[in-house]
Amino acid sequence: MSLDSQNSGALHTKLIEQVLSRYPDKTAKRRKKHLSVATRGQELAGETQALSECDVKSNIKSIPGVMTIRGCAYAGSKGVVWGPVKDMVHLSHGPVGCGHYSWSQRRNYYVGTTSIDSFVTMQFTSDFQEKDIVFGGDKKLEKIIDELEDLFPLSKGITIQSECPIGLIGDDIEAVSRKKTKEYEKTIVPVRCEGFRGVSQSLGHHIANDAIRDWVFEKKELKFEAGPYDVNVIGDYNIGGDAWASRILLEEMGLRVVGNWSGDATLAEIERAPKAKLNLIHCYRSMNYICRHMEEKYGVPWMEYNFFGPSQIESSMRNIAKHFGPDIEEKTEYVIAKYRPLVDAVIDKYWSRLEGRTVMLYVGGLRPRHVVSAYEDLGMAIVGTGYEFGHNDDYQRTGHYVQEGTLIYDDVTGYELEKFIEGIRPDLVGSGIKEKYPVQKMGIPFRQMHSWDYSGPYHGYDGFAIFARDMDLAINNPVWDLYDAPWKKKSAQPAAIAAE
Partner 1 sequence: MPQSAEKVLDHAPLFREAEYRQMLAAKKLNFECPHPDEIVTDQREFTKTWEYRDKNLAREALVVNPAKACQPLGAVFAAAGFERTMSFVHGSQGCVAYYRSHLSRHFKEPSSAVSSSMTEDAAVFGGMKNMIDGLANTYKLYDPKMIAVSTTCMAEVIGDDLHSFIENARQEGSVPQDFEVPYAHTPAFVGSHVDGYDAMVKGVLENFWKGKQRTVLANTVNIIPGFDGFCVGNNRELKRLLNLMGVSYTLIQDASDQFDTPSDGEFRMYDGGTKIEDVQAALNAEATLSLQHYNTRKTLEYCQEVGQETASFHYPLGVEATDELLMRVSEISGKEIPEAITRERGRLVDAMADSQSWLHGKKYAIYGDPDFVHAMARFVMETGGEPTHCLATNGTNAWEAEMKKLLATSSFGKDAQVWAGKDLWAMRSLLFTEPVDLLIGNSYGKYLERDTGTPLIRLMFPIFDRHHHHRFPLIGYQGGLRVLTTILDKIFDKLDRETMDPGVTDYSFDLTR
State the Cα–Cα distance between residues 313 and 95, nearest whole angstrom. Answer: 43
Does 26 participate in binding partner 1 (rule CB under 8 A)?
yes
Q: For partner 1, give the closer residue by CB, 169 or 303.
A: 169
User: What is the contact mask toward partner 1 in residues 159 to 198, using x (rule: CB under 8 A)?
Assistant: ----xxx-xxx-------------------------xxxx
Q: Which of 70, 205, 367, 369 is catalytic?
A: 205
Near partner 1 by CB under 8 A: residue from 83, 190, 240, 390 = 240
State the nearest-atom distance from the C-beta of 9 to partner 1, in Å: 25
Near partner 1 by CB under 8 A: residue from 1, 133, 278, 303 = 133
DSSP letter, residue 254: T
496 is a catalytic site residue? no
- SS3 letters across 290-341: HHHHHHHHHCCCEEECCCCCHHHHHHHHHHHHHHHCHHHHHHHHHHHHHHHH
Beta-bridge mates of residue 162: 93
345 is a catalytic site residue? no
Residues 6+ apart with CB under 8 A from 190: 159, 160, 162, 173, 174, 176, 177, 211, 215
Does 33 participate in binding partner 1 (rule CB under 8 A)?
no
98 is a catalytic site residue? no
State the Cα–Cα distance between residues 438 and 450, nearest whole angstrom. Answer: 17
Near partner 1 by CB under 8 A: residue from 38, 461, 471, 474 = 461
Near partner 1 by CB under 8 A: residue from 98, 160, 212, 255 = 98
State the nearest-atom distance from the C-beta of 497 to partner 1, in Å: 4
Q: Please list every residue from 276 through 335 that binds partner 1, using CB under 8 A.
A: none
User: What is the contact mask toward partner 1 in residues 335 to 354, using x (rule: CB under 8 A)?
Assistant: ---xx--x--xx-xx-----
User: What is the contact mask toward partner 1 in residues 437 to 456, using x (rule: CB under 8 A)?
Assistant: xxxxxxx-----------xx
Pairing mode of beta strands 52-53, 39-40: antiparallel
Q: Please list every residue from 416 through 435 that binds partner 1, using CB under 8 A.
A: 418, 432-434
465 is a catalytic site residue? no
Question: CB burial class (10 A; 0-12, 13-18, 19+) of residue 21?
Answer: exposed
Does 469 participate in binding partner 1 (rule CB under 8 A)?
yes
User: What is the contact mask toward partner 1 in residues 136 to 165, using x (rule: CB under 8 A)?
Assistant: ----x--xx--xx-xx-xx-x------xxx
Q: What angle do CA 45, 46, 47 make, to 5 degrees?
A: 95
State the nearest-atom distance from the C-beta of 11 to partner 1, in Å: 20
Near partner 1 by CB under 8 A: residue from 5, 52, 59, 121 = 121
Are 9 and 37 in contact by the 8 Å Cβ rule? The answer is yes
Are 180 and 39 in contact by the 8 Å Cβ rule? The answer is no
Which residue from 389, 83, 66 is spatially nearest to 239, judged by alpha carbons?
83
State the Cα–Cα distance between residues 155 and 174, nearest whole angstrom. Answer: 20
State the Cα–Cα distance between residues 279 and 304, nearest whole angstrom. Answer: 8
Q: What angle do CA 406, 410, 413 make, to 5 degrees?
A: 110
State the Cα–Cα distance between residues 37 and 39, nearest whole angstrom. Answer: 6
457: preceding bond cis by omega (within 30 degrees): yes
Near partner 1 by CB under 8 A: residue from 12, 15, 16, 23 = 23
Q: For partner 1, give the closer residue by CB, 55 or 117.
A: 117
Near partner 1 by CB under 8 A: residue from 83, 259, 364, 390 = 259
State the nearest-atom distance from the C-beta of 37 to partner 1, in Å: 22
Tell me the one-letter amino acid at 80: V
Q: Please list every residue from 199 through 238 that binds partner 1, using CB under 8 A.
A: 199, 201
State the nearest-atom distance from the C-beta of 305 to partner 1, in Å: 19
Does 244 participate in binding partner 1 (rule CB under 8 A)?
yes
Q: Please list every residue from 266 through 285 that binds partner 1, using CB under 8 A.
A: 266-269, 272
Tell me the one-letter amino acid at 311: S
State the nearest-atom distance from the C-beta of 403 to partner 1, in Å: 28
Q: For partner 1, give the closer residue by CB, 32 or 469.
A: 469
Q: Which of 38, 73, 75, 265 is catalytic?
A: 75
CA 422 and chain centroid, separation: 26
Q: Which of 31, 90, 93, 106 is catalytic?
A: 106
Q: Please list every residue from 378 through 417 that binds partner 1, using CB under 8 A.
A: 413-415
DSSP letter, residue 479: G
Tell me the one-letter amino acid at 166: I
Where in the sequence numbering do the catalytic residues fall?
Answer: 72, 75, 106, 205
